[in-house]
């Protein structure tokens, strides 16, 4: 879901090239949901191979990684582990929302309303064992590190950024910032032209950099205060207070009001696990990883996976791979000439 605090954060639009030579820790599940949601046919159905297996995620992942590697950006993909127990309600609500979207999708298809069908289909995306296993295979063949987080992927990505193993966490959500990432890059997986829902209009989507230090300094609050603002607005772990958005929550937190009192004054039950949620944002479970270096790209392995197993166009995949390999070779040649003097 993600927490709606973007209005108060310090952000700037950046060019993809500005991330050149940098490592970016990508919230893997967030990226996969984007690909599964967006990469669909006119009637809302996802891309599939000759055996009917979904391949939207593989298409999005492959071409986005090619773009990043060709721009000399080193991605690390971080996948979710076991969610905290107090996230169970949100998970159950998400499943129910997907079931309702599936019913609306079927109704729209039967009515011949393809625009509505596609809209509803985007909300039905699920990440299952096949999607995860095929994602890991592709990342391995592309030479891109894939880390399984012990808990939330956003927290692990933030940890890498805090440890200077990555320049920033990358996600559409701001949760990595609540977990302490000094920087978050948005629109990394969806930059480029994108169609507006329900319209025949396209907009240019560009990467956006959100800075934690500048945000908290400009707001005059601590990182803990920012977490409190997020809780009042609503997170994946607890409901916020209806009618309180980011700006009002900020004002209340800066006034020194206690979260418990704010909930009570608005007639809302205080979240049962409030203290645990605060501690989880401040001290999330993460894994220490010593090296996150890219490995050599296995051209033939990628071709076998995408073309032979999943019905991708051999010409398109080969051209994309060769462009990446040529870019890498030029970089190696340039580095060799620099070292040799």
CATH of the domain at 91: 3.40.50.1010
Q: Would the pLDDT of 182 be above 70?
A: yes
Q: How confident is the model at residue 163 (pLDDT cuts 50, 70, 90)?
A: very high
Q: List the CATH number of the domain containing 254.
A: 1.10.150.20
How would you label 132-169 residue by residue, b for 16+ Cβ within 10 Å and e otherwise? bebbebbbbbbbbbbbebebbbbbbbbbbbbeebbbbb
Q: Would the pLDDT of 195 be above 70?
A: no
Q: How confident is the model at residue 56 (pLDDT cuts 50, 70, 90)?
A: very high
Say yes or no: 159 and 32 in one domain.
Answer: yes
Average pLDDT over residues 141-166: 97
Q: Would the pLDDT of 334 be above 80?
A: no
Please report the pLDDT score of residue 92 as a whole number: 81
Indicate whether 10 belongs to any domain.
yes
> CA nearest 105: which of 124, 78, 127?
124
Indicate whether 9 belongs to any domain.
yes
For the chain, the average pLDDT equals: 91
- What's the pTM? 0.90
Question: Each residue of 126-145: pLDDT tens digit?
Answer: 999 999 999 999 999 999 99
Please report the pLDDT score of residue 1 as a whole number: 53
Please report the pLDDT score of residue 187 as a whole number: 93
Question: Each residue of 266-304: pLDDT tens digit?
Answer: 999 999 899 999 999 999 999 999 888 999 999 999 999
Say yes or no: 225 and 131 in one domain.
Answer: no
Place of tokens 């999330």: 284
Say yes or no: 250 and 272 in one domain.
Answer: yes
> CA nearest 125: which of 36, 32, 1?
36
Please report the pLDDT score of residue 62 as a whole number: 98
Residue 271: domain span = 221-283
Indicate whether 94 belongs to any domain.
yes
Q: Is the Cβ–Cβ distance between 299 and 321 less than 8 Å?
A: yes
Question: Above pLDDT 70, what percent of the chain?
Answer: 93
Please report the pLDDT score of residue 201 as a whole number: 61
Give me the half-sphere count of Cα atoms (radius 13 Å) on the Cβ side of residue 122.
13
Please report the pLDDT score of residue 338 as a whole number: 47
Say yes or no: 109 and 88 in one domain.
Answer: yes
Q: How confident is the model at residue 200 (pLDDT cuts 50, 70, 90)?
A: low
Q: Which of 283, 304, 325 is at the close of a domain? A: 283
Give me the half-sphere count of Cα atoms (radius 13 Å) on the Cβ side of residue 4.
15
Average pLDDT over residues 27-43: 94
Alpha carbons 25 and 146: distance in angstroms, whole number:
10
């Amino acid at each position: 879901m993600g927490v709606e605090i973007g209005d108060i954060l310090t952000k700037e639009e950046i060019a993809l090239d500005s991330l050149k030579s940098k490592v970016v820790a990508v919230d893997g599940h967030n990226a996969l949901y984007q690909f599964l949601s967006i990469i669909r046919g006119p009637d809302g159905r996802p891309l599939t191979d000759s055996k009917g297996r979904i391949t939207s995620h593989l298409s999005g992942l492959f071409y986005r990684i090619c773009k990043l590697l060709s721009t000399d950006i080193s991605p690390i993909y971080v996948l979710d582990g076991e969610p905290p127990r107090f996230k169970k309600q949100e998970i159950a609500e998400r499943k129910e929302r997907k079931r309702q979207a599936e019913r609306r999708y079927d109704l729209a298809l039967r009515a011949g309303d393809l625009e509505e069908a596609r809209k509803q289909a985007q909300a039905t995306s699920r990440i299952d064992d096949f999607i995860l296993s095929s994602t890991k295979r592709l990342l391995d063949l592309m030479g891109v590190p894939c880390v399984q987080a012990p808990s939330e992927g956003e927290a692990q990505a933030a940890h890498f950024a805090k440890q200077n193993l990555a320049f920033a966490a990358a996600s559409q959500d701001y949760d990595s910032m609540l977990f302490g990432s000094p920087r978050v890059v948005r629109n990394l997986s969806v930059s480029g032209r994108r169609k507006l829902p329900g319209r025949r209009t396209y907009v240019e989507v560009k990467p956006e950099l959100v800075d934690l230090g500048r945000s908290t300094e400009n707001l005059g609050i601590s990182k803990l205060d920012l977490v409190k603002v997020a809780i009042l607005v609503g997170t994946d772990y607890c409901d916020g207070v209806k009618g309180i958005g980011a700006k009002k929550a900020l004002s209340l937190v800066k006034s020194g009001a206690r979260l418990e009192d704010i909930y009570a004054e608005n007639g809302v039950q205080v979240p049962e696990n409030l203290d645990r949620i605060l501690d989880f944002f401040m001290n999330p479970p993460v894994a220490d990883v010593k090296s996150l270096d890219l490995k050599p790209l296995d051209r033939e392995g990628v071709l076998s996976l995408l073309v032979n197993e999943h019905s991708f166009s051999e010409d398109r995949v080969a051209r994309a791979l060769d462009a990446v390999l040529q870019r890498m070779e030029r970089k190696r040649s340039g580095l060799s000439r620099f070292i040799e003097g």
